[in-house]
Structure 1
C-alpha cells in the first residue's frame, strides 16, 4: 500500500527537496542534486494535479514517476512538453545504454552515471518543471 498525502504536504516537500537539491548543486554534487530535484518536480506536479482536480489526497493519482505523463495531464506549455519528450531516454556514460526518464531516480539513487550533456539537460528541465509548479 502506497503512502497517501495531501496537496499541502506535497507542496512542502517540493520546496524542501528543491532547497536541498539547490544546495547540493552549489557544491558540485549534480547527481544527488538531480535526485532531489526529480522528487521535487514529482511532488510539485502531483500537488498541482490534486489541487486542479479537487482531490483530497494522492490516492486519486496513479502516475508512479512518469513526469512526462503528469506534464501532459497538466497541459504544460508546449516547449516544456517538447523538452521532456526529447529526454524520454537518457544516455548512460561509457555507452552502457540508456535509461527512461521515469527511471532516472533509480540511476541517481544507485550511482549509475549519466552522460554529462544529458544530465545537464535533465537538470535544467527539472528546474523548469519545479518553477512552473511554483508559479501555476
Structure 2
C-alpha cells in the first residue's frame, strides 16, 4: 500500500491545486475534484506534522493515522481544530440530478462518478479557502 510522508502530501497538494486552477476554466467539476484531493492531501500533511507522524499509516497514542480519515475532510478539519472564521463557510452540498443533500464527504464521490453538484463555484471557493488555511498553517 502507498504510504507517503507528510512533505510528499504537501507537495502533491500544491500540484493538485495548480492542476485544478488550470482546469477550472474548461471543466468546473473536474477542477473541483482535483481541488478536493488537494485539500485532502494538504490537511493530512498538516495533521501528520502536528502529530509527528512519519507516514500516512503511522499513529501515536493521541493521534490516529492520517489514512484512517479516508476522504473525510470534515473530520480532518475537526482534528486540526480549524476555526470556522478562518475559512469560508461550508456551502450546502446538493447533487443536481437527484436533489440529494449531503455532507462534504460525498463531493469526491459525486465528481469522481460524473455527477453534477449544484453551486460548484461556491464549493470550489470553500475548498480553495481550505488550501489557503493549509498554506498559512504549515
Q: Under a length normalisation based on structure 2, what TM-score does the superposition of the two structures give?
A: 0.85
- Greater fraction of residues in helix: 1
Return the alpha-carbon distance in structure 2 between the equivalents of residues 13 and 40 of structure 1. Answer: 7
Distance 1:80 1:101, change over 3 A: farther
**Are the aligned partners of 2:94 and 2:101 in contact in 1 as well (CA < 8 Å)?**
yes
Note the residue ranges of structure 1 that are not aligned, 5 or more in a row.
none
**Are the aligned partners of 1:72 and 1:81 in contact in 2 as well (CA < 8 Å)?**
no
- Structure 1 residue 80 displacement after superposition: 5.0
Return the alpha-carbon distance in structure 1 between the equivalents of residues 11 and 27 of structure 2. Answer: 23
Match for residue 35 of structure 2?
37
Aligned residues: 129
RMSD across aligned positions (CA): 1.8
Moved segments of 4+, more than 4 Å: none
Return the alpha-carbon distance in structure 2 between the equivalents of residues 47 and 94 of structure 1. Answer: 34
Q: Under a length normalisation based on structure 1, what TM-score does the superposition of the two structures give?
A: 0.86
Distance 1:82 1:68, change over 3 A: farther
Moved more, 125-134 or 99-108: 99-108
Match for residue 134 of structure 2?
133
| Aligned pair partner of 2:107 in 104, 108, 122 | 104
- Structure 1 residue 99 displacement after superposition: 3.5
Note the residue ranges of structure 2 that are not aligned, 5 or more in a row.
58-64
What do the CA deviations read for 1:41-82 (whole angstroms, capped 9, x no partner)? Answer: 000000000000011111122111111111111111222578
Match for residue 64 of structure 1?
70
SS of the aligned residue for 1:111 comes to coil
Match for residue 6 of structure 1?
5
